[in-house]
Structures are given as C-alpha cells and as structure tokens.
Structure 1
Amino acid sequence: MPRVVRSQALLHPIIPYDEGTTQTDLESFRKIENSKFVADPSILVHPHLTSMVAGLSFTVSHVYLRIRQGFSPRALCLGIGGVVLLSLLETNLWFEVTVVEADPIVLNAATQHFGLNESASIHLIVGDAIESIQNLAHRKIKQESDEC
C-alpha cells in the first residue's frame, strides 16, 4: 500500500507451560504450537513516538487540573499504526482515545494481532480522517447548542 507508514512495537513471546524452552530465537518460537506474541505498549520503539509523548509534558499541568476537576483527558489518533501510542495513552496516561483508521484491514490486524479492543476508553472509527474530524466537530457544536 503506497501510504502505509511502518510502525513497530516491542513483542514479548507467550509460551504455553507445556512447551517450555530456553531457546529465544524466532525459529524456535515458530516450532512451538500455539505460541503467540504480545505487543508491549510501554516501550516506544520509534523516535517520533517518544517526541509525541514528550510533547504532552507541555500540557501536563492543564491535564492534571482537568483530571482533578473530574474530566478525562482525551486524544484523537489519526491512524492506528502499531497500536503502541494509543495503548500508552490509555493504559499509562489514562486518556480516552478516539482512533480513526481509514483501512479496515489495518484495523483488523490491530485487533487480531496487537490486542486492540474497543472499550469505554478506546473508540474506533473506520473512515477518512478529515471527514471524521469534521463529523466530530459538528457533533460537538450540536451538543453544545442543545445544552443551551
């Protein structure tokens, strides 16, 4: 696909108890029936992810104040990537995350292989990012006008 940005995540093997092995190479894991890997959302592999999270430090005092006032911090992720950034936002920083992904195949891979699941704090939208932003903005404006 021409517009796919490669994303990486640190993977940890999950080995069934009855398949104990001391070998840690990929070929050994392939031989183990039912072996699986789980992505570690606490490690930011790509430097651009570290920069993005570091940028949140500029807003930490405001975010902390809003949390103390009873509001959940929210983030909008345009594209799923390797799921690491949105997992970090949800699990480590307690953000409510809305994810917009244009490609249902990428969304399927994220749910099947990277543990992404829609929950109370993760909302998934399949569609165009610009259209989704416009729809979210219109919904917010309508909600505010209904409250008046």
Structure 2
Amino acid sequence: MDTARTLSTLGALACLLVILVLGVPALVIEAPDHLLTDYYTAGPTGAVGIGFFAAIGVVVFLSGERGRADPPLVAGLSVVLGVALVALAGVWHLSLDETLVYSFPAEYDWIQHHGAVVLALTVLVLGAAAGYAREYV
C-alpha cells in the first residue's frame, strides 16, 4: 500500500468534506437572511476563509502525488495549510455567539454543533497532512 498516496487522497477528501459541511446551513436552513449572514461572517475571516483554504488544500494535497510538484515540498505546505485551517476554524467556532446560534428555528437545532463538526474536520485535514509529511521525513 502506498501510504503517501493514501494520505494525500484522504487529505484532499477531508478538504472537500470541510467545504461540503460548511455549505450545509446555506443550502438547508430556511431562516431570515441576516441570521445566515451573521453566522457565516463571525470571526475575523468568517467561514469564507475556511472554505478558501480548504479549496486550496484539495489542490495542494493532490499536486504532490500527481507529479505536479515536489512531494516533500507539498507535504510541508499541507502541514502549514492544515494548521491554518484548524486555527481559522477554531477562531470561527469560538466567535459564534450563542444568541445567534440559538436564534435559528428549533428544527435546525443541529446548527449548535455545526461549528464543532467543521473544526473536527479541519483536525482531520491536519492529521492527514502530518501523516503525509511524515512519509517524507
């Protein structure tokens, strides 16, 4: 089994999952627009920064094993990207005001855990990046 290729693919899939999970509230929740706007813009960069770095992560993870870039360099970049994703998601999650989260209709009470799920997925990205980098040390 090619561990580096597996971890690279896992990292790319985790980044895609971060993007998908970030978009769920916008696609599913029917609430006043200002609630979703306030939710997504909490923190210094909001959820947009997380989504942006996750999209870059897909490209970074796949470029090393597809021969587009030097794999050890990509491995290092993926760790930096993973740390940035965890930091952004952590700050965003901590910036979500309880009043805002509890303002959503009761049928969407799962939104209380959405930020934590996004943070957990970014930790998965970091774990895949760390394992990927370890293959080249």
Query: How high is the TM-score relative to the length of structure 1?
Result: 0.22
Larger RCO of the pair (alpha carbons < 8 Å, separation 6+): 2
Higher-helix-fraction structure: 2
Query: How high is the TM-score relative to the length of structure 2?
Result: 0.23
Higher CA-based Rg: 1
